[in-house]
Chain A
């Protein structure tokens, strides 16, 4: 177990209780950046198509560390800290672009596409005076380098030499669930950023929480896109950190009265779309799975809601703020009908999504509701106390899985 930098103590061994200070404490947040995001985990950074040719780069973050992801001359995908080795300024200032090399604007120190320091302006001084010491070795200085790994067009990066290979990290069952969706070359349809007023973990828990979806999201329940009375289940990786939940339509669900019998708000009979083309989905993966939500610890979400596909990158921005970077996509070989279908179904997700709109505010409700409750605990008991895969979604097993992994990385 890692030793935590935080002064906090976890209240007991059970995975079914989570203290609220974990969403509030500044020292704990700093420890997370070091021990999780800069630790032995894989963070999603971009798509392979974002860095399609040598020199193509994209700037992003691993935790709060600014990074440059760039395709090298040799075709490899490199990633290094976006921080000049000289005085720490950002090296690249654009979100995306194409470069033969990178030069810091501050004092013109130059880096190659691997992040090696290759040039120092006036290294030998001017007119025999000034300049760097004769024994200064450029190879000993440079921004920190990250390892990268790809999976079906996704690029992940890690700073720690201790991180296992990506395939091992994910586990076979989770990797197979990524493969299920990403079998063809991806085509980006749009990108948006959603700023959320809550700790990053509240969003990741929300994504893993299969219990809430049809209860909070009335749109889901009303149109029976996902209901807990439908088939499906939740798969949790052995280490707890990653998950994939699925929903499969079952014929008998059409007549289920479980929601109405419990007086649940999300059940609203008589609510019908004027233009039902929004829900004109096709079974493009051929397995009857209407909805699959997958997370990779700590910052990645792959979403399939009917034909509405997106990846989401979670970026922490302090103890009580985060950004969600949405990339909507389809596939290169989509025909016009499929493209239109995806554009319409994308109304379900994003900042204005019929389904995901509430996820934008509910984390803030917890952040505010628990403001004075640092030493109180939340209850994560649906489906027991363990974090194993379950053939129901009326469970919080994958949320407990998150805490199992989190506590291991944090030493709690």
Chain B
């Protein structure tokens, strides 16, 4: 994996990672999802309003890979919700900058939620604010802050974005 984090090198690599990330979530391979992150890490789902105002809380807040594994285990073993799937459409990543072996990037996304009765809803749109690092084997998310455009979530958010 390239330790060259310049924009030209990074953009296609990140686009591929985003595509794999979306496939893992949409194909119900949630157990693969924590592997996209470093440990420790930061994964937060928040909204543009909260982000703009500097509010730190998220609807999901994890600062370790263990917490991501726990989220998946809870979804599999404890939490109750109606069966549904997502379809992520992830836009082109914009590489914002590079510093000390970390790269900052921003990528827009759109998620359609498909319920078990066939109903489809535009569930979330937003942007991934990423801090990426090459850990020697792969480029991983040191931070992925999921900033949803809307502050309103329909019913519940189970599967990660």
Total A-B contacts with CB atoms under 8 angstroms apart: 120
B78: contacting residue among A342, A343, A346, A354, CB under 8 A: A354
- Say yes or no: is B120 at the interface (Cβ < 8 Å to chain A): no
B123 to chain A, nearest CB (A): 11
Contacting pair A361 B70 (CB below 8 A): no
Q: Which residues of B contact A188 (CB under 8 A)?
A: 55
Q: Which residues of A contact B47 (CB under 8 A)?
A: 192
Q: Which residues of B contact A361 (CB under 8 A)?
A: 80-82, 155-156
- Say yes or no: is A151 at the interface (Cβ < 8 Å to chain B): no
Contacting pair B57 A343 (CB below 8 A): yes
Of the four ranges (under 10, 10 to 19, 20 to 34, 35 or more), the interface on chain A belongs to 35 or more
- Say yes or no: is B87 at the interface (Cβ < 8 Å to chain A): no
**Chain A: which residue is nearest B61 at the CB level?**
A343
- Say yes or no: is B60 at the interface (Cβ < 8 Å to chain A): yes
Contacting pair A344 B157 (CB below 8 A): no
- Say yes or no: is A377 at the interface (Cβ < 8 Å to chain B): no
Contacting pair B78 A219 (CB below 8 A): yes
Contacting pair A196 B73 (CB below 8 A): no
Binary interface profile of B, 135-161, with partner A (CB < 8 Å = 1, else 0)?
000000000000000011111111000
A271: contacting residue among B62, B77, B154, CB under 8 A: B77
- Give the docked Cα–Cα distance between A169 and B136 (Å): 64
Contacting pair A357 B156 (CB below 8 A): yes
- Say yes or no: is A191 at the interface (Cβ < 8 Å to chain B): yes
Contacting pair B155 A218 (CB below 8 A): no
- Say yes or no: is B125 at the interface (Cβ < 8 Å to chain A): no
- Give the docked Cα–Cα distance between A114 and B57 (Å): 34
B154 to chain A, nearest CB (A): 5
Q: Which residues of A contact B66 (CB under 8 A)?
A: 273-275
- Say yes or no: is B49 at the interface (Cβ < 8 Å to chain A): yes
- Say yes or no: is B85 at the interface (Cβ < 8 Å to chain A): no
Q: Which residues of B contact A273 (CB under 8 A)?
A: 66, 70
Contacting pair B57 A190 (CB below 8 A): yes
**Chain A: which residue is nearest B71 at the CB level?**
A347
B62 to chain A, nearest CB (A): 8
A188 to chain B, nearest CB (A): 7
B151: contacting residue among A192, A271, A339, A360, CB under 8 A: A192
B47 to chain A, nearest CB (A): 7
- Given contacts A218-B78, A357-B81, are A190 and B67 in contact (CB under 8 A)? no
- Say yes or no: is B1 at the interface (Cβ < 8 Å to chain A): no
**Chain A: which residue is nearest B161 at the CB level?**
A352
Q: Which residues of A contact B50 (CB under 8 A)?
A: 190-192
B38 to chain A, nearest CB (A): 14
- Say yes or no: is B74 at the interface (Cβ < 8 Å to chain A): yes
- Given contacts A193-B151, A346-B57, are A218 and B77 in contact (CB under 8 A)? yes
Residue with the greatest number of chain A CB neighbours at <10 A, chosen from B57, B63, B158: B57
- Given contacts A194-B153, A271-B78, are A189 and B60 in contact (CB under 8 A)? no
- Give the docked Cα–Cα distance between A275 and B57 (Å): 19
Q: Which residues of B contact A357 (CB under 8 A)?
A: 79-81, 156-158
Contacting pair B45 A352 (CB below 8 A): yes
Residue with the greatest number of chain A CB neighbours at <10 A, chosen from B67, B80, B152: B80
- Say yes or no: is B64 at the interface (Cβ < 8 Å to chain A): yes
- Say yes or no: is B46 at the interface (Cβ < 8 Å to chain A): yes
- Say yes or no: is B58 at the interface (Cβ < 8 Å to chain A): yes
- Nearest 9 Cβ contacts at the A-B interface: A190-B57, A275-B66, A274-B66, A360-B156, A351-B153, A218-B78, A352-B157, A189-B57, A190-B55
Q: A191-B49, A216-B80 are in contact. List 18 more A-B contacts (CB 8 A).
A: A191-B55, A192-B152, A192-B153, A194-B153, A194-B156, A218-B80, A266-B78, A274-B70, A275-B67, A323-B152, A342-B57, A347-B61, A350-B59, A351-B157, A352-B45, A352-B59, A354-B78, A361-B82
Interchain residue pairs with CB less than 8 A apart (25): A189-B55, A191-B49, A191-B151, A193-B153, A197-B154, A216-B80, A218-B79, A271-B77, A274-B69, A274-B73, A275-B69, A278-B67, A323-B152, A342-B57, A343-B56, A343-B58, A343-B61, A344-B63, A344-B67, A351-B59, A351-B157, A352-B156, A357-B81, A358-B81, A360-B156
Chain B residues within 8 Å of A, Cβ to Cβ: 45-47, 49-50, 55-64, 66-67, 69-71, 73-74, 77-82, 151-158
Chain A residues within 8 Å of B, Cβ to Cβ: 188-197, 216, 218-219, 222, 266, 268, 271, 273-275, 277-278, 323, 328, 339-340, 342-344, 346-347, 350-354, 357-358, 360-361, 364
